[in-house]
Amino acid sequence: MDKNMPYTNNFLKGLTSLTGIPIKKIQEYAKENNPFNILEHPKVIEPNEKQLQKIGLLNEFIASYNLLKVHESENKIKFSSPKEAADYFIPLLSGIKDKEKFMVAFLDNGNNIIQTKIMSEGNIAQAVIYPRDILKEALACDCKAMILAHNHPGGSNSPSNEDKALTQKLVNIFHPLDIKIHDHIIVAGVNFCSMAEKGYMPQAINELASYEPIKIENKNILEENQSFNSQLDEELEL
């Protein structure tokens, strides 16, 4: 047989391990023939009933795997720009008016989404982010990059100083691990702000990583609440 056939001994070993056909029998056949024939024409190797059934299952698996793999790659969500990231997060965050929600999209090398997780849900004015939880998810899915996103129920899409500080703290954790944080999208209604687009994304660490919980507050709403409360107090005193 052609010595350049694209198979390795691993294929023969794999076939033995999964079908129970003795390796010697497969190697003997492969000396003069293309071993892929065993899958297409199993009878060439005179398998017993169980081995034949296993080859059938293996063929079914290979066909299903190839089909699903094509579907998966056609349907992968890939981020190539801040606008694409915003288009993804706006429907997930724009309708939420009663609480702050913080989400992370974990990405592979090609910036395809591996998974997206809600990492924190707070109240209307604040949310607490636990960096350890984000780290745990990032390592579990072996991501190479992340995009952060959260909503501002108050309506302003400008990143607050706390939003910038939060981003820096997460960069301090993930930069040394070679996990890039590409962007932090702030969603306010149907509007958004990309911190990357505005040039607010930290490029390097500015201090050692800290894993303490991080609170993000929507100051506008807190101030409005305080002013409303003090007005109410004054009216009640009268």
What is the maximum span of the chain, computed from C-alpha positions, in angstroms? 102
Q: Indicate whether 4 belongs to the interface with another protein (CB under 8 A).
A: no
| Residue 64 interacting with another protein (CB under 8 A) | yes
Nearest CA to 190 among 222, 163, 152? 152
Binders of another protein among residues 142 to 201 (CB under 8 A) are 142
Interface with another protein (CB under 8 A), residue total: 36
36 interacts with another protein by CB under 8 A:
yes
Tokens of 15: 């076939």
Q: Does 115 bind another protein (CB under 8 A)?
A: yes
Residue 104 CB contacts under 8 Å (≥ 6 apart), including other chains: 116, 117, 119, 134, 137, 138, 146, 147, 148, 149
Among the listed ranges 79-87, 134-142, 144-152, 178-186, the one in contact with another protein (CB under 8 A) is: 134-142
**212-215 long-range CB contacts below 8 Å, 24 or more apart?**
212/131, 213/128, 213/129, 213/130, 213/131, 214/128, 214/129, 214/131, 214/165, 214/166, 214/169, 215/126, 215/127, 215/128, 215/129, 215/162
**Counting Cβ atoms within 10 Å, is residue 24 exposed (0-12), middle (13-18) or buried (19+)?**
exposed
Is residue 230 a contact point for another protein (CB under 8 A)?
A: no
Cβ 79 to another protein shortest distance, Å: 13
The distance of closest approach from Cβ of residue 12 to another protein in the complex, given in angstroms and rounded to an integer, is 9
140 binds another protein (CB under 8 A): yes
Does position 72 bind another protein by CB under 8 A? yes
Q: Judged by CB under 8 A, which stretch of 60-68, 154-162, 171-179, 192-200 contacts another protein? A: 60-68
CB of residue 206 to another protein, shortest distance in Å: 31
Residues in touch with another protein (CB under 8 A): 6-8, 10-11, 13-15, 17-18, 36, 54, 57-58, 60-62, 64-66, 68-69, 71-75, 77, 113-117, 140-142
